Structure 1
């Protein structure tokens, strides 16, 4: 095996993917069979400076160079060769946010990440103007807010991009981005696979009175779809990426993509009627649509796959954090009783008990709102557990209600898609901590969404692997081959994963629970207001 890998490395039959996540930058090198052969990562944290969540340019480059170097060292250690050439490279990063540059390529204001909720005025105005939901984190909302705030740097803007778009530009000289990434910058017209022309015109008319020296199309990157070539690594770019100077210039790069797109690729959910749910601290579902929705919804964001197919995204801020704290409490109880229960056994026992509860959780109610929840219009949250004297209060129902409520806010967004818009879904692919205990989260999710849910072994590989697959697709696709066919044929063939069909009892039970959940939001509202009145929002009282 290893001598083959060695010649693959020496002959540039490998592909490199690097993703900038919010806490980790990860580099993954894959072989011709798409399996990872080396990797390296760099931990980093955003900083909060002048009321803005940001990462400095210095941290961006240090993190990129460190993750690349660790991957290259991993190659050397395992295969005894120095990495000098690669078949193709791809970059991915956190979507949205705001990076703007002047004529000489200098950053005009510190990078504003997707985490900043400072664009409410712009988000509302643009959503109304376009009749299309523009979330606060989108790049166009950041740009318009800066215009509304009369920030003096706005007149000097000559280029606006995202984190992945910035890295790609510096390494290739090309001002481009993948359509999935671009769909979080400005709305995309799925017929042209480019920025929505009439909305762009509306934006230019909206800002005409400001007499700025640019129109929107002058400053945004060009849009490319998966499979298209996006330039090559320049001599300067090679030095920026590999500080040892071993890596050669001329390597082709695929269009830079956002983390939503690479997540879809890594979970093989880019075809219409498929979707994926990432469930951990927060939970979001992405569903590839066959046709456009009938109207704009505040609860649903519209983005695209890396090929430019329309994707509806339902995102909830709270998922498993409160549930994890309850499991931790039972762990403390076990310890106090002199029992040693490791975390896997604890989760396994408690999660499996939930499957024995009453379908509707026996009348119990809980909210895991550790933070606010935009799906249900809460600026802040209070975790709550509520029951009546008639509820069937036992451990199985207690665990079941906490698993159900972890998906409560998400299911409100999914109901819009599946019930109001009659979107058809053949299956959803689940990944994240919620699915760690085999079979349980999956069965609950299938009941909650009333759709078959699959869990795949490879889903843990993440976005760096996803962008490596996109670079590989660009390099190896058959002529005109669609991305979903390439993934099915070359990457995921024989990796079916385990699929669970929805149990009608679970589906009916979840529906009954959701009636209680929706009605009980008044209790959650009262808890938020009561605590605010009594301690002016300080914690711990």
Structure 2
């Protein structure tokens, strides 16, 4: 306890704050990179005027709330006020669109990764670049705004991601970590900067629209993990901690996306490693040895926080529908007068799924709260269906929803593993789906037909990952790579708990996927009939 108190007083700590889809989490780590305090704040996106968004007010309310709770825990546990920190890092959901004018005012409401209204722009840019440009990428949103002749386009002085916005307001620096930047615009792996040829093509494309800016003028500068990205200003310190306890001048690492922090949190930045992050959305990141043979609309090419090429399969939907069903069971328990312990309820229902048939017994579900580009949906409708002669049990019901949360991901990963013959020596899982030991992990192993490991730190997630990136910036030795730092100073040989796929579950998941693909017209009909 006294050692931790001394670390806090002397500033030998690192703070990471990540703005996730449903929770903003702050984690403070010590010299050994283990968490010593945390704080959180729950929030939800809003669907307003046809746009999935979060308000700017909620961004700052959430940041201040998560930091305040962390500072309170530091005071309670160690009897010390949090006034200085060795280094800080901010991360958030990747992609989306935040555009600002010269006065720093946001021009249109924040458009998150969840929006799928950029089909025309994404298709046009994919053809122009011969490079997959997904619907949710920032450049797709910008191009679509131009195509739609939105009034605000002429006034853009800067556009960035959520993490880039928070970092800018706290430091004054318009920068972005390369991993997050790779979800705004394609990165050239050799230069580890935006692809210049593609920028030139884009500028030529939009010249007819009389845009008063060039793309490089409004994009954030790209930085690599370990580089200094500025310091906390006086205004920034007050914005993060309105009590005035936190001092300015703290160095801040490059802001990153949740994909990059997930790779860091699972030690998956080296070639032939990979990870799966499963929460509100689900995505898999496989660090490649070489480029893919062709363009696949189901697969994005992004980078690690230190600039290595990554194949990313990103699915918009994962646990939202699953959580909604768990809440129905909660409501039922409350209705009959039972006390509800939510962690236990999740565990009990997840463990029940293990008793189900390997193929879910003829049950089928689609967890599409929003569109799902991997399967070709611009909009989604949560849907459950079953055959007349199915084995309709609670175990199969829960299993079908757990399978569904990974189904679109499996479709994309099958391309990587079966068509491109990509190899991955290690796959790590992290996020809410893996909190119940052995359930989500086992089903993911079955979906991928490869062993999956989950580390003890997986529950800390991206907030811990960005704290580690901040620590790396502050404590790395000369020319020490991120992979070396993670292996030797963070994980030190910890490989987590590995789970091999059960052959029966692999066969069962394949059968479920066949039924899932065959049933996609049902989902399409639901979307069309429930406008």
**What is the distance in 2 between the residues matched to 1:71 and 1:343?**
23
Per the TM alignment, residue 81 of structure 1 is displaced from its structure 2 partner at its CA by 2.5
Describe the superposition over 1:12-48 as per-residue Cα deviations: whole angstroms up to 9, x where unpaired. 1111112222333322221111122223333344445
3-state SS, counterpart of residue 29 of structure 1: strand
Mapped contact 2:431–2:461 kept (Cα < 8 A): no
**What is the distance in 2 between the residues matched to 1:304 and 1:200?**
18
Q: Which residue of 1 aligns with 2:81?
A: 82
Q: Which moved more, 1:126-135 or 1:20-29?
A: 20-29
Mapped contact 1:365–1:516 kept (Cα < 8 A): no
1:452-491 map, 5 Å? 452-491=451-490
Q: Which residue of 1 aligns with 2:218?
A: 219
1:58-137 map, 5 Å? 58-137=57-136
Per the TM alignment, residue 76 of structure 1 is displaced from its structure 2 partner at its CA by 2.6
1:265-414 map, 5 Å? 265-320=264-319, 351=350, 355=354, 359-360=358-359, 364-371=362-369, 372-378=371-377, 379-381=379-381, 383-387=383-387, 400-414=399-413
Per the TM alignment, residue 175 of structure 1 is displaced from its structure 2 partner at its CA by 1.5
3-state SS, counterpart of residue 364 of structure 2: strand
Describe the superposition over 1:101-140 as per-residue Cα deviations: whole angstroms up to 9, x where unpaired. 3334333333333333332222222122112222222111
Per the TM alignment, residue 147 of structure 1 is displaced from its structure 2 partner at its CA by 1.8
Q: Structure 1 regions of 5+ residues with no counterpart?
A: none
Mapped contact 1:133–1:296 kept (Cα < 8 A): yes
**What is the distance in 1 between the residues matched to 2:279 and 2:493?**
27
Describe the superposition over 1:475-506 as per-residue Cα deviations: whole angstroms up to 9, x where unpaired. 11122222122112111225332101223333
**What is the distance in 2 between the residues matched to 1:14 and 1:137?**
35
Cα distance change, pair 42–333 in 1 and its aligned pair in 2 (3 A): closer
Mapped contact 1:323–1:368 kept (Cα < 8 A): no
Per the TM alignment, residue 392 of structure 1 is displaced from its structure 2 partner at its CA by 6.8
Per the TM alignment, residue 455 of structure 1 is displaced from its structure 2 partner at its CA by 1.7
Per the TM alignment, residue 381 of structure 1 is displaced from its structure 2 partner at its CA by 3.6
3-state SS, counterpart of residue 441 of structure 2: helix
**What is the distance in 1 between the residues matched to 2:59 and 2:340?**
41
**What is the distance in 2 between the residues matched to 1:342 and 1:349?**
10
Q: Which residue of 2 aligns with 1:258?
A: 257
**What is the distance in 2 between the residues matched to 1:194 and 1:96?**
17
* Backbone CA RMSD of aligned residues: 3.1
Describe the superposition over 1:76-107 as per-residue Cα deviations: whole angstroms up to 9, x where unpaired. 33323232221111111222222223334333
Q: Which residue of 1 aligns with 2:36?
A: 37
Mapped contact 1:92–1:463 kept (Cα < 8 A): yes
**What is the distance in 1 between the residues matched to 2:45 and 2:455?**
31
Mapped contact 2:322–2:367 kept (Cα < 8 A): no
Mapped contact 2:280–2:319 kept (Cα < 8 A): yes
Mapped contact 1:225–1:255 kept (Cα < 8 A): yes
Cα distance change, pair 405–106 in 1 and its aligned pair in 2 (3 A): closer
Cα distance change, pair 345–137 in 1 and its aligned pair in 2 (3 A): closer
Q: Which residue of 1 aligns with 2:193?
A: 194
Mapped contact 2:432–2:459 kept (Cα < 8 A): no
TM-score w.r.t. length of structure 2? 0.89
Mapped contact 1:426–1:451 kept (Cα < 8 A): no
Q: Structure 2 regions of 5+ residues with no counterpart?
A: none
Select the structure of larger CA radius of gyration: 1
Per the TM alignment, residue 415 of structure 1 is displaced from its structure 2 partner at its CA by 0.5
Cα distance change, pair 405–160 in 1 and its aligned pair in 2 (3 A): closer
Q: Which residue of 2 aligns with 1:509?
A: 508
Per the TM alignment, residue 235 of structure 1 is displaced from its structure 2 partner at its CA by 3.1
TM-score w.r.t. length of structure 1? 0.87
Q: Which moved more, 1:145-154 or 1:26-35?
A: 145-154
Q: Which residue of 2 aligns with 1:230?
A: 229
**What is the distance in 2 between the residues matched to 1:329 and 1:6?**
44
Per the TM alignment, residue 206 of structure 1 is displaced from its structure 2 partner at its CA by 0.4
**What is the distance in 1 between the residues matched to 2:35 and 2:75?**
15
3-state SS, counterpart of residue 127 of structure 1: helix
